[in-house]
Homo-oligomer: A and B are copies of this chain.
Amino acid sequence: MNSPVRVNGFVCKNPLEVNADDFFKAANLDKPRVPNKVGSNVTLINVMQIAGLNTLGISIARIDYAPLGQNPPHTHPRATEILTVLEGTLYVGFVTSNQPAPNRNKFLSKVLNKGDVFVFPVGLIHFQFNPNPHQPAVAIAALSSQNPGAITIANAVFGSDPPISDDVLAKAFQVEKNTIDYLQD
């Protein structure tokens, strides 16, 4: 990890020293995680955890959803996502881009049961919501990049460091500044 040699910003190992551990992670993806404040937890295994993934264009994640929890609206700037439900039920959807009507910002959604599969195309805003008030849900998702990135809309727009000016956001969202300030808290 101290090597000065990097590809895509990640350390490269001498091929003579590569072994099975460079393609392995004891990731405990079978274990439930504690949900965050919106009721979900994403455990992503990407090139940061498995160095051998570099340049190979894929990563995998376990997602836990508390009852009524959600993986809130977000995008992956460099990956398409494919997801299957392991436990529970998920209400999922994505919004199309600013195409001409009638496709402008069309919201495509679906209720997924255990074993169903759904695709979120690269760069589109999407979310998953567990509609069950009593039972958690679990999904496995895969992403078409070893470093897909994730942008949670609420955090990036209303929680950046430093904050985006409330003047800008008030006009962008066509509301008063105090509404923006409330969202930024």
Contacts and interface: CB of A to CB of B under 8 A. Distances in A.
Nearest to A4: B4
Contacts of A76: 123
Contacts of A34: none
Contacts of A7: 6-9
Give the most central of A25, A169, A172: most B CB within 10 Å: A172
Nearest to A48: B100
Nearest to A21: B110
Contact of A29 (B45, B91, B115, B169): B115
A125 interface: yes
A156 B95 CA distance: 6
A154 B125 contact: no
Contacts of A94: 23
A97 B112 CA distance: 27
A114 to B, nearest CB: 4
Given A18-B108, A57-B57, 18 more contacts: A4-B4, A9-B15, A19-B108, A23-B94, A27-B116, A27-B117, A29-B84, A30-B115, A37-B174, A38-B172, A58-B119, A72-B171, A95-B157, A95-B164, A105-B152, A123-B149, A127-B172, A153-B172
17 contacts: A5-B6, A7-B7, A16-B102, A16-B103, A25-B117, A30-B85, A30-B86, A45-B82, A52-B119, A58-B79, A58-B142, A58-B144, A60-B117, A95-B164, A97-B156, A154-B172, A154-B173
